[in-house]
Structure 1
Amino acid sequence: MAAKKKTGYIERFLKKADKAIDDGIKRADEALEDAVEFSEMAASQAKKTSDQLSKKALKEKEKIKSRGIKKINEGVTSAKKLTSNSEEDLQMLEKLGKLRKAGVLTEKEFQEKKKKILARI
């Protein structure tokens, strides 16, 4: 009878051990499924955020490009104005020189005008 008792005890112990192992495997499978689901959600969110940031970066790029072109155009316009003003000033000096030679302007008047014109160039 003692042998029967031990056999029943071992069988019950093994059944409990098998059940515990099965429960552990079941919990591990559930945890794995949750991890896969969360990783899919994280990947989806990361892609969405990446797409949003890419769109925002493209908009910023266009704004910066537009501002850059505007500033370049302003610079070109200013340079053209300076160049044309310098040419006009040089022509004015020539005319003043002719007026001085013709006696219309005194040397003092010529020098005053010349000083103002040269200060602008």
Structure 2
Amino acid sequence: MLRESREHCDHLVVGLNVRPVTKQIMQSVVERYTQLQAVKWVDEIVPYGTEEELIDLIHLYRVDIRFIGEDYRDKPFTGDQLENIEIFYNRRDHRFSSTGLKAHVKENYEKDNRE
């Protein structure tokens, strides 16, 4: 996703949600920040804690293109009502996902504890 996003902009700013409420996060904020720092396509990382802060950051950075997963197509998302911002839907046709990773870890944990 990040590489695909960077191919469509000059400077890629990645928002890092430090207080996600909808998903159980397996890694700390520091771990996720460090991983993003190591990605060559990421130019800047901006932590945010609320959806209101995300909107503020979109305005502050004068975002003209926003990248979100194609699973949000035809669904409401934070900032979908903002004008003059192109929305680019990243493909999700790969096998990499945190959901898949969690399922794999759980499956292996359960398997190891049955034996």
Instruction: Give the TM-score of the pair, scaled to structure 2.
Output: 0.21
Larger RCO of the pair (alpha carbons < 8 Å, separation 6+): 2
Looking at secondary structure, tell me which structure has more helix per residue.
1
Looking at secondary structure, tell me which structure has more strand per residue.
2
Which one has the largest radius of gyration? 1
